[in-house]
Amino acid sequence: MSEPAAALSVGQPRPAALLVLSDGSVFEGEALAALVAPDPVVATGEIVFNTCLSGYQEVLTDPSYAGQVIAFTYPHIGSYGVSPEDEQAGRPFCRGVVVRDLVERPSNWRSAETLEGYLVRHGIGGITGVDTRRLTRHIREKGAMGAAIGTAGEAELLAAARCEPGTDGVDLVAEVTTKEPYAIAPSSPSGLFVVAYDFGIKTTILHSLAQIASVEVVPATTPGREVLERRPDGIFLSNGPGDPSALGHLATELLSIIGEVPVFGICLGHQLLARALGARTYKLRFGHHGGNHPVKRLRSGTVEITSQNHGYAVAEGTVEAARLTHVNLNDGVVEGLSWGALRAFSVQYHPEAGPGPHDARYLFEEFRALMEAGR
């Protein structure tokens, strides 16, 4: 059995490592964090890339990355260490990390530990020294696919990458959702009460909701009737990982709450709301992962720069009676829907950001106004 991994001392030589993709592509680098061990170890997952220039800790702790290996396009990762205040969940749910250059000496007054020390503590492995520009171009051309990282041989890593099932048809929400309900106190008294379904909810979303209401977070499988028995002013459907088509049991349950009180969905919550109302979803070639996606708000014609993290999308025109509210200007993907008569709306992107721009935070105020109008 391997000895526990440990963060290497600054300047200490790193073991050679490989990143091997399921199509046979090989990228050389050096092991970091949990992959630094006396015996060969392997980390596998679906490889995706993220384009954020900062906020790597928020990215790593976003539960929507469950089942995936994250490649950062920004070359220097770890420069300001990590801080407990920046976590989006209690631990990272990603499978591995790929970087061009791991910064071993962080410089920031908020830093509590190095990025590598943090990854070691949570058992997450990775690889540094990779040509991430080449890797990103390859993923854009070939699409997201299985990947394996480790200090083992190329043949073993290729076999592991080809055995990686990816996210298609997998219920990853069960891995990240809370086991028990819990409450979040409001930042200021409003008299409003929101029940939030946790499909993989981020801390920054909870902070944003707490600015408009008191919040109770419930497990993803909570029956709709139990949620309505709490007499909420509104129901929130959170972000989360994976394939919405694998979550028919969750979408079906939403039918019992839609139309009863205002509903606001983000990311996976947007997809599940749409599927509950008859929409079709599909997998994007390489997904949207980053903090710089332009989205057009159709009502006003304004363009918002948005934070996004999803590999699936709602097929346009497959939801009857839905009004298209937002569109991605890069590829035309549906980014927002509204059902006026049902008092429900949703967006594919992340208005709370964390990390990312704050152009779309007005959506939480729209949710507040919808709830107040229904009291």
- Any domain includes 4: no
pLDDT of residue 11: 64
Whole-model pTM over 0.85? yes
Residues taking part in catalysis: 267, 350, 352
| pLDDT for 7 | 63
> Is the pLDDT confidence value at 321 over 70?
yes
**Which of 232, 180, 234, 186 minimizes the C-alpha distance to 208?**
186
The two structure tokens encoding residue 282: 């599909």
Domain that holds residue 341: 173-373
1-27 residue pLDDT tens: 344 455 666 667 899 999 999 999 999
User: Which pLDDT score, from 0 to 100, does residue 374 have?
Assistant: 81
What would the pLDDT profile of 279-313 be if each residue is shown by its tens digit?
A: 999 999 999 999 999 999 999 999 999 999 999 99
Residue ranges of alpha helices (H) inside the chain are 56-60, 115-121, 132-142, 154-163, 173-176, 203-210, 224-229, 248-254, 268-276, 362-373
Question: Residue 147 and residue 240: Cα distance in Å, rounded?
Answer: 21
Q: pLDDT value at position 375?
A: 82
149 and 261, same domain (yes or no): no
Q: What is the pLDDT of residues 23-61, one digit of tens each?
A: 999 999 999 999 987 777 799 999 999 999 999 999 999
Find the mean pLDDT for residues 145-160. 96
Q: Does residue 326 share a domain with residue 203?
A: yes
CATH number at residue 61: 3.50.30.20
Which amino acid makes up residue 33? A
Nearest-10 Cα torsion for 138, 132, 93, 160: 60
- What pLDDT shows up at residue 165? 92
Question: 162: which 2 tokens?
Answer: 């080809």
Q: Is residue 3 included in any domain, yes or no?
A: no
Residue position matching structure tokens 């997450």 = 124
| Alpha-carbon span 254 to 273, nearest angstrom | 7
Residue 23 lies in a domain: yes
Same domain for 71 and 150, yes or no, is: yes
Quote the pLDDT of residue 1.
36
Assess whether 287 and 248 both reside in one domain.
yes
Mean pLDDT calculated for residue range 183-210: 95
Number of domains in the chain: 2
Fill in the DSSP letter of residue 331.
Answer: T
Question: Domain for residue 139, yes or no?
Answer: yes
User: Residue 13: its pLDDT value, please?
Assistant: 85
Asked if 200 and 64 count as a contact pair (C-beta separation under 8 A), the reply is: yes
**What whole-number distance in Å separates Cα of residue 92 and Cα of residue 72?**
15
Helix (H, G, I), strand (E, B) or coil at 309: strand
- Least confident span in 10-14, 117-121, 338-342: 10-14
Is 7 part of any domain? no
Domain-located, residue 11: no
d(C-alpha 213, C-alpha 197), whole Å: 15
Could you give the C-alpha distances from 14 to 29, 37, 64, in angstroms and in order? Answer: 9, 10, 30
- Does 151 share its domain with 178? no
Give the CATH number of the domain where residue 257 resides: 3.40.50.880
Report pLDDT digits (tens) over 63-95: 999 999 999 999 999 999 999 999 999 999 999
Note whether 314 and 180 are same-domain residues. yes
**Which has the closest alpha carbon to 73: 57, 92, 54, 51?**
51
Residue 152, domain member (yes or no):
yes
If asked whether residues 114 and 195 sit together in one domain, one would say no
Both 125 and 264 in one domain: the answer is no
**78 Cβ contact partners less than 8 Å away, ≥ 6 residues apart:** 56, 99, 102, 103, 104, 106, 114, 115, 116
Euclidean distance between CA atoms 15 and 150, whole angstroms: 10
Same domain, 210 and 346: yes
Same domain, 212 and 186: yes
The pair of three-digit structure tokens given for residue 58, joined into one six-digit string? 């928020």
Q: Which of 100, 129, 163 is the last residue of a domain?
A: 163
pLDDT score at 2: 43
Residue that is last in its domain, among 140, 163, 186: 163
Question: C-alpha angle with apex 363: 361 to 368, nearest 5 degrees?
Answer: 115
Shared domain check, 70 and 31: yes
Residue 231 in domain: yes
Which residues fall within 8 angstroms of residue 363, CB to CB, at 6 or more apart?
A: 264, 347, 351
Mean per-residue pLDDT over the chain, rounded: 95
Percentage of residues of the chain with pLDDT beyond 70: 97
- Are 273 and 180 contained in the same domain? yes
> Which one of 163, 182, 209 terminates a domain?
163
